[in-house]
Amino acid sequence: MNDVPVTDRWRLRATISVHPTTLVVLDSLCEKFRTNRGRLIDKLVETLGASYKDGRVRCIFGSACVMNRTDLPEVL
The number of folded domains in the chain is: 1
Residue 11 domain-assigned (yes or no): no
- Reading the chain (76 residues) residue by residue, the pLDDT tens digits are 556 565 666 888 888 899 999 999 999 999 999 999 999 999 999 999 999 999 999 988 888 888 989 999 988 7
Residue 8 domain-assigned (yes or no): no
Residue 58 domain-assigned (yes or no): yes
Backbone angles phi, psi at 58, to 5 degrees: -105, 145
Residue 21 domain-assigned (yes or no): yes
**CB within 8 Å of 68: residues ≥ 6 apart:** 56
Its sign, for the CA torsion 2, 36, 58, 16, is: negative
CA–CA gap between residue 74 and residue 76 (Å, rounded):
7
Structural domain of 44: 17-76
Residue 7 domain-assigned (yes or no): no
